[in-house]
Chain A
Amino acid sequence: MTTPRTETAAPAKNAPAIIASSVDEGHRTKQAPFGETLVSLARTMPEIVGMSADLAKYTDIHIFAAAYPDRFYQMGMSEQLMMTAAGGLAKEGFIPFATTYATFAARRCYDFISQAVAEQNANVKIVGGLPGLTTGYGPSHQSTDDLAIFRAMPNLTVIDPCDAHEIEQLVPALAKHDGPVYTRILRGAVPLILDEYDYQFELGKAKLLRGGRDVLIIGTGFMTMRALDAAKRLAADGVDVAVLHVPTLKPLDEATIIREASRTGRLVVTAENHSCIGGLGDAVAGLLFRSGVTPAMRQIALPDAFLKAGSLEVLQHRYGISTDAMIHSIRCWL
């Protein structure tokens, strides 16, 4: 069962449909964590090079390009070329960070990444901006299927980070990991939450951010931020919610997920900024079922549809991934 239709009051209609990342009210932010971290890391790792397909400014790698102009390759609007050339640079011993929007990386470049990067185990870091539903611009820019697409690709590590703190930690971890990686990122003013939870990103590890008796939310990407906010608000109603953060979708931290989902009496809710097909929910359901662990389980995810254009807040609420919608769904399911 996926997200029920929400009946709570929607945010004001007709807010502008600009391209923006998702900062919820009351959260601190940090500017350009991906670009800034890559710049400082590159000081000690000369093999790092940057690439973009005419979206440097829009993925924050322009900061790296300004700091290291001779280590940055502007590929123009040629995403397929960029991914394939990244494979070539990796063969020569470099570590390319190749950036574009998540949707173009996943959809336009699939075969190129599959054969020039993943199959050859090339040490390429693919970085996708505008993850999931983070723009009201319409389906061309709404990357609702990248996690499904990339999870299906052998050899590839797949990551959806939550916030600026996590992005700062994962950039060095990815650079040190020898192998192809796809990560989503948020750009610009990125929410900052996980520093309060004494959180440390580890590749392939899920982390329990808070315990709770009634519900276990297994979240990925910024939906973990919303899960934490939802947990606080549900606590006021006496609903005790645990939150497990799963930034690495592949390889999945099976042991931790099985351990947490095995604790009896808790409703398990997966939460992802992605289609209900092929992302975190399906990964967790498949894992649990195959392992003989069968708690009551629900999924918060975007519908299997090309989403509408409009204002981001309205759309996120309509499609069930706003914090309000999430709380509403969980109440309905309890």
Chain B
Amino acid sequence: MDAPALGDNSQLAEHSYRVRKNAIRMAEVHKQGYIAQALGVADVLTVMYFHAMNVRPEEPDWEGRDRFLLSVGHYGIAHYSILTAAGYLPEEELVTYGLDDSRLPMSGMTHYTPGAEMSGGSIGLGLPMAVGMGLGLKRKKSDSFVYTLMGDGELAEGPTWEAAISAAHYKLDNIIAVVDFNAIQADGPSREVMRTEPLIEKFEAFGFFAQRVDGNDLDALVKAFDAAREYDEPKPRIIICDTQLGNGVHFLENREKSHFVRLTQEEWDDAYEALDAWKTTRTR
């Protein structure tokens, strides 16, 4: 997709609003789900699909595309939101999320959904798989990038660090790893469950070009993804995005139980209203 000129991110803001709205529509089907993650990561995905990545939504398997690996399968809802906004999926399909025989299963899987390149329900496979695809792309002399979206809790998985060592060893400068650092995981705040900081220092020591940004700041995200693509040393790249869970729906932001949210129909109705109110006040 053509990238909008730097400095004019109002289009991106519009897209990221639609991504959030798509997510609410899906979560509402079951009155529960990983909605807080989807809202939090909406800006990151928007910048990836509408600015950074080279993709053709009408041709999801186009050989020249940048690859996108959803390592955190439970972020399926977030992924379908962006895939719909970007034109891979029709909007009418959103309400089939998680239902029998839907193309939008709760956990992202490769053979269900156009644009889904891996099955990531068992977490910790994204970076290792990116290593293989990065090697494969180089072998094919392709200049495509491999992006993988990981969770902060996922950083405790051993295979992630095996892959990090290997990505640097093989100088896989075509890997752009993205971490949604929303500071929560299944059992609670990630700093209490398993502390992984300091991350920039760790990834740099592992041989990465590492950046950390406010994951709900579109301008900062655009700059970080541009820097990751343009960086000219032969190193794998990683962007740690500090995101706010539930971003855009005030009563979902900083809710205590936000890894898996259950709401009443009334609250879902309120969520749309809250999102619209947030949209009008969003300052770039």
* A residues whose Cβ falls under 8 Å from a Cβ of B: 13-18, 52, 54-58, 62, 74-78, 80-81, 103-104, 107-108, 136-141, 308-311, 314
Contact = CB atoms under 8 A, between A and B. Distances in A.
24 contacts: A14-B99, A18-B30, A54-B153, A56-B187, A57-B186, A74-B193, A76-B193, A77-B123, A77-B153, A77-B154, A108-B124, A137-B107, A138-B106, A138-B107, A139-B119, A139-B121, A140-B121, A309-B98, A309-B112, A310-B100, A310-B101, A310-B105, A311-B99, A314-B100
Interface in B104-145: 105-107, 109, 112, 119-124
B27 to A, nearest CB: 11
Contacts of A14: 99-100
Contacts of B213: none
Tell which of A16, A58, A136, A309 has the most Cβ of chain B within 10 Å. A309
Interface in B212-231: none
B187 A74 contact: yes
B12 to A, nearest CB: 31
A104 B192 CA distance: 22
A135 B73 CA distance: 15
A138 B153 contact: no
A54 B187 contact: yes
Interface residues of B, number: 31
A158 to B, nearest CB: 21
B194 A17 contact: no
Nearest to A78: B156
Given A18-B30, A52-B187, A54-B185, A78 B119 contact: no
A225 B67 CA distance: 47
Contacts of B187: 52, 54-57, 62, 74
B270 interface: no
Contact of A80 (B100, B120, B158): B158
A202 B144 CA distance: 59
A141 B121 contact: yes
Contacts of B157: 77-78
Contacts of B106: 17, 136-138, 309
B119 A140 contact: yes
- B105, B106, B123, most chain A CB atoms within 10 A: B106
Interface string B12-30: 0000000000000000011
Contacts of B166: none
Contacts of B156: 54, 75-78
